[in-house]
Structure 1
Amino acid sequence: MTTRSAIAEGKQPLALSWINVAFFGTVHALAMLAPWCFSWSALGITIFLHWLFGSIGICLGYHRLLTHRSLHVPKWLEYAIATLGALAIQGGPIFWVATHRLHHAHTEDEDKDPYSSRRGFWWSHMLWIFYPRPEFFDKETYKKFAPDLDRDPFYRWLDRNFLLLQIPVAVLLYALGGWSFVVYGVFLRAVLLWHTTWLINSAAHLRGYRHFQLHDNSRNLWWAALLTYGEGWHNNHHAHPNVAKAGLSWWEVDMTWWAIKVLQTLGLAKKVNVSS
């Protein structure tokens, strides 16, 4: 929506956040140092942390566990997994859960869905972060959509301080492998994980096939599913958001579901929802 049309409809015009642009631009710029810092071990760190913070932290923790409560784990394990999600630098748990619940409640509504794909590919991919709307980014507002988490002191602390957690991660990586590990394990990993996660908001609402004819345009996109450990089976997920398994057909590889099955086998995951 243009500023002129927004004013005409009595809506607050979108404002570019130069702080967000500077932050994401700086991280992307530092990630571009990767060719000069390459080592196979550094690349291995990137792949491992992309999986740990992405599949376990975001997909299992923030998404299937905290947002949809499609399984239950002991509170100590829930906190640990949520902390891994915070290390992905995709916002604190209250913010992430609130915006995703709004996405499901008002899928593709241009005003109520924070990253509505009807506003275009780049809006749903990343511009919604560069033009932050107060109803989605002001804590006093978004916390209303995740009251279960907002009641928990640990999640309130994690929501405020998730960025600071990158400091001990960077220190540990530097101790293990110097600046090469920092560039690959913090900056390159963050950029790759951002864009693979954002593909679910953007590409998976534009391309792919559908098992379920829903009112939204969610799609199953195989290559996005491989990059996001199963989240790309997005049409399946929108049809049954509270089901712990996203890949329903045998060929729909869902690595996050494999992790849930391991936790279930160990007796750590209970009440795993496998049917809508």
Structure 2
Amino acid sequence: MTQSVQHPTQKPTLDWVAVFFFGAVHLLALGLAPFFFSWSAIAVCLFLHWLFGSIGICLGYHRLLSHRSLKVPKWLEYTLAFIGALALQGGPIFWVAGHRLHHAHTEDEVKDPYSAKRGFWWSHMLWIFYPDKQFFDADQYSRYAQDLAKQPFYRWLNRNFLLLQIPLAIALYLLGGWSWVVYGMLVRAVLLWHSTWFINSVTHVWGYRSHPSDDNSRNLWWAAILTYGEGWHNNHHAYPNVAKAGWRWWEVDVTWWAIWLLQRLGLATKVILPPAVVTE
């Protein structure tokens, strides 16, 4: 599935553009949120956190595009990828390529883009601030997601995901004013970033293991709640192509509920289910 990742020729340097961008969004969210609070804005923030996080990232980018755990019509696949791009976590080719490398070389300090063995904060967010060219240069990472890179729509979405935030902000302003913009854009982005990053960091440190996978992946209940099921990470690393992350009845997997609904509607087929073991 993947080609050999080359050892970096030099130590990655701090990307001040990334530091400024992420720092500015965090500061604006913290500084403006108290002054633009409204219950409708909170509702919009939570709704978009679910829509972009569970439907866009967890279902679209992760279980569908990265692992092909299910099959949906092309129009729906593109719609889910578009929603994922609105999450402001990179384009689909970038995201999928990095995630596939994470699974192919889990916790390898060179080949895994966000290896937990390099420390909690590295796997959580510092890997973005010290970008390795092999994981951030499109000409290099695209080879790990060639199935997407050969499609014009995904190439366009990969280039323009950041610009999509402009019409989103305009729509939120027209519908609810500045409070919806602050909570729907800034607060939502910060919360969703850290929710997603928790899977790279905390679920490789804390939690229980149901399967003897060749890494330190863990199942962590509170991370699963924040990420709509992705926190059952040991289950996922043991069987990455399975569409259902929560296997036991009490391992709540909200994203799976959406997949189940799509299956019942006839829109999801070839859904890969867990083996009969360890599902009680």
Q: TM-score normalized by structure 1?
A: 0.96
Match of residue 236 from structure 2: 237
Q: How far 1:26 moved relative to its partner?
A: 1.0
Q: How far 1:10 moved relative to its partner?
A: 8.3
Match of residue 14 from structure 1: 12
2:262 aligned with 1:263, yes or no? yes
Instruction: Give the RMSD, CA atoms, in angstroms.
Output: 1.0
Residue 208 of structure 2 aligns to a residue whose secondary structure is: coil
Match of residue 46 from structure 1: 45
Q: How far 1:191 moved relative to its partner?
A: 0.3
Residue 191 of structure 1 aligns to a residue whose secondary structure is: helix
Match of residue 153 from structure 2: 154
Number of residue pairs aligned between Structure 1 and Structure 2: 268
Match of residue 3 from structure 1: none
Match of residue 196 from structure 1: 195
Residues 88-140 of structure 1: CA deviation (Å, up to 9, x unaligned): 00000000000000000000000000000000000000000000000000000
2:135 partner amino acid: F
Distance 1:34 1:193 in 2: 16
Residues 4-54 of structure 1: CA deviation (Å, up to 9, x unaligned): xxxxx9840120000001110111111111111000000000000000000
Distance 2:78 2:181 in 1: 25
Distance 1:275 1:124 in 2: 27
2:90 partner amino acid: G
Contact residue 86 and residue 164 of structure 2 kept, 8 A? yes
Match of residue 3 from structure 2: none
Match of residue 142 from structure 2: 143
Match of residue 27 from structure 2: 29
The ranges of structure 1 where at least 4 consecutive aligned residues each deviate by more than 4 angstroms after the TM superposition are none
Residues 49-104 of structure 1: CA deviation (Å, up to 9, x unaligned): 00000000000000000000000100000000000100000000000000000000
Please, which runs of 5 or more residues in structure 1 have no aligned partner?
1-8
Distance 1:11 1:64 in 2: 33
Q: How far 1:235 moved relative to its partner?
A: 0.1
Q: How far 1:170 moved relative to its partner?
A: 0.3
Residue 163 of structure 1 aligns to a residue whose secondary structure is: coil
2:244 partner amino acid: K
Please, which runs of 5 or more residues in structure 2 have no aligned partner?
1-6, 276-280
Distance 1:158 1:178 in 2: 27
1:113 partner amino acid: D
Residue 88 of structure 1 aligns to a residue whose secondary structure is: coil
1:152 partner amino acid: Q
Contact residue 59 and residue 255 of structure 2 kept, 8 A? yes
Distance 1:231 1:77 in 2: 21
Aligned pairs for 1:117-266 within 5 A: 117-266=116-265
Match of residue 65 from structure 1: 64
Sequence identity (%) = 71
Q: How far 1:275 moved relative to its partner?
A: 3.4
Distance 1:251 1:10 in 2: 43
